[in-house]
Amino acid sequence: MERLKGRPANPEGRLEKELRVYDLLDKLGIEYEYVDHPAAMTMQDCEEVDKILDAITCKNLFLCNQQKTKFYLLMMPGEKKFVTKEVSKQIGSARLSFAPEQFMEEFLDITPGSVSVLGLMNDHENRVQLLIDEDVIKAEYFGCHPCINTSSLRMKVSDLMEKILPYVHHEAEIVKL
């Protein structure tokens, strides 16, 4: 595995949703690097990739309230523990739980194991609120999947906050875990 700059040279075998991520990043003039790797379903699967990316690797959780009327994407450092009560209190929501897979696919065009902040580009109706742990904001670079878990990207946190989120019409709420 090696970290390469910019868009993969050969699009063969890549999903359309992954190519749309590269299109978006290129359109916004964002510099990024990528690593192709075996499917990474867990944070443990990402350990070797993390070393190559040299960025804060985020655990991305797709959550909802008990009534399944409000949905959240939580970006947090991979080594931190998710404590439902802490996040629920900060955002003024009833108990949070993991959202059903069907909503992840419907709202973000992402499947389990591939959850990524870049899926917000598919949330045209703003049904998902982005929550970011404060430690992610403090980092210079972060790592995420390009909506598929066989590649990982490295880009600047400032590009996410200043270019990507405004373009996809989403704002981040900062939380402390």
In which domain, by residue range, is 31 found? 4-175
Q: What are the tens digits of pLDDT across the range 48-85?
A: 777 888 888 888 999 999 999 999 999 999 889 999 99
CA separation, residue 56 to residues 52, 135, 138, 173 (Å): 11, 9, 10, 18
130-169, pLDDT tens digit by residue?
Answer: 999 999 999 999 999 999 999 999 999 999 999 999 999 9
- Distance, in Å, from the CA atom of 173 to the CA atom of 177, rounded to the nearest integer, reads 13
Kindly provide the residue ranges of all beta strands, DSSP E only, lying in the chain, ordered along the sequence: 4-5, 33-36, 56-64, 71-77, 97-98, 128-133, 141-144, 151-156, 172-175
User: Which one, of 5, 16, 24, lies nearest residue 166 by Cα?
Assistant: 24
- Would the pLDDT of 46 be above 80? no
Contacts of 81 (CB under 8 A, 6+ apart): 177
CATH number for the domain harbouring residue 154:
3.90.960.10
Count how many domains the chain has: 1
